[in-house]
Structure 1
């Protein structure tokens, strides 16, 4: 199996991949509270897991490499719970600009930012446009749970899509990082259903701290989570993301 992780490859190997016009995948997540039963790194861990799986699948059909993840995103709405790290929007913009610029200077021209945190979605849509103009290189953006929306919807029993520290995220963590689950806290791991801001149909948007939405820090219901569901979603999201990589959306630019 070919190596797909940027930081496990030599500079010469990366230059060779750039010469093949390989795709560079940049995972971004968040470091924030995830209820009483999950660690703060969930969004980072899951985005990275899906990206690595997708790259292995796509590498059978095209050149692809995954950069080290960006573990911190826009999480101001979780700060009241503690345990959360957040960036400001200008900092996120600058960080992505510098990473993408570095990738381009190696010789790559196809970059896909892959998101694992609902709170990043609206900003990343806008920043992708900004980065494409600033760097004169087409940048693509996808959320892994958006790419795998159908398998997520078909797998979950208590909700239609991922929420927060919910059946879906807990199931995938059970499959990918079972040692980080606080199973003795699962009985308390439930809260109201929510709609991600980027998918809301409400006519007015206002910032609402997450502790006003759910005192447990959980949106959705983790009590029906299982490793089997998690593996199905991870595999399905990775397959969908691999298809996006191979389909070459940059060719349309």
Structure 2
């Protein structure tokens, strides 16, 4: 399935330069850039989880609008801002300024092919502020382009209660949400017999509770302060069936975002 996604009809990497130019110069064109991370996800999920999922959702959403919207998805930006995971090992992190530079350079050079809309599809919570700032920087430098960014898992907020079984704190890092998606998309990479995790125990009432229950207060701690294994949540409640439902609904939500971006380029 990984190969099929890389070579999908909307994959920038599978196109020739002439094909990219033909798509980009259409007045309604949208460029999608997935942004992930390489960071530990406990003992049961691979370190590329955030990158794999952002890339998969980006392709699904783009494929669902491709008949109506000239659109391409670049290869993912695979390293993000993950200093809080470094001490547990397995993590490759950029400095925040370097990530901003990477996002700006990737977007700016890709936009030279004529695209009128841009959407970063982020898969790592630690990247969210960087993506927001990149949107502002790139938008300022490219005033004729509709520049946007979205953290894909936040698109699940309207429907998540129809699918989740875990209590608040069970859909955090490597929990029910991400593990279900990975079981659906990349089951050969998931080691359920090593799914050792615990619910998020956030001491601040106004802090974030899990991927889909946020809070106004941010703080910094190395990840082992929350979890011995490096995973937080309830992966034992994960299933490929839930992952399929999540993936399908996320594809619909992102497709709606991408259609709206294209409409704003008119």
User: Fold-level match, TM-score > 0.5?
Assistant: yes
Q: 1:130 to 1:214 in 2, by over 3 A?
A: same
What runs of 5+ residues in structure 1 fail to find an aligned partner?
none
The answer to whether the 8 Å contact 2:120/2:149 transfers is yes
Partner of 1:52: 59
Q: Secondary structure at the match of 1:130?
A: helix
Hey, what does 1:146 align to over in structure 2? 154
Show CA shifts across 1:126-163 (max 9, x none).
Answer: 22112211333331001111123223332111045841
Decide whether the 8 Å contact of 1:33 with 1:78 is kept in 2: yes
Q: TM-score, normalized by length of structure 2?
A: 0.87
2:25 matched to 1:12? Answer: no
CA distance in 1, matches of 2:262, 2:220: 33
How far did residue 193 of structure 1 move? 5.0
1:89-128 deviations in Å (ceiling 9; x for gaps)? 1111111111111111111121100101111112221221
Q: Equivalent of 1:181, from 190, 193, 201?
A: 190
Identify unmatched segments of 5+ residues in structure 2: 1-7, 203-207
Give the paired residue count: 250
Distance, in Å, in 2 between the alignment partners of 1:140 and 1:249 is 11
SS at match of 1:199: coil
Alpha-carbon distance between aligned partners in 1 of 2:119 and 2:201, rounded to the nearest angstrom: 30
Q: 1:99 to 1:152 in 2, by over 3 A?
A: same
Are 1:91 and 2:98 matched, yes or no? yes
| Deviation at residue 206 of structure 1 after TM alignment | 3.1
Larger proportion of helix: 1
CA RMSD after TM alignment: 2.2
Q: Work out which of the residue numbers 229, 240, 244 in structure 2 matches 1:227.
A: 240
Please, what TM-score do these two structures have when normalized by structure 1?
A: 0.92
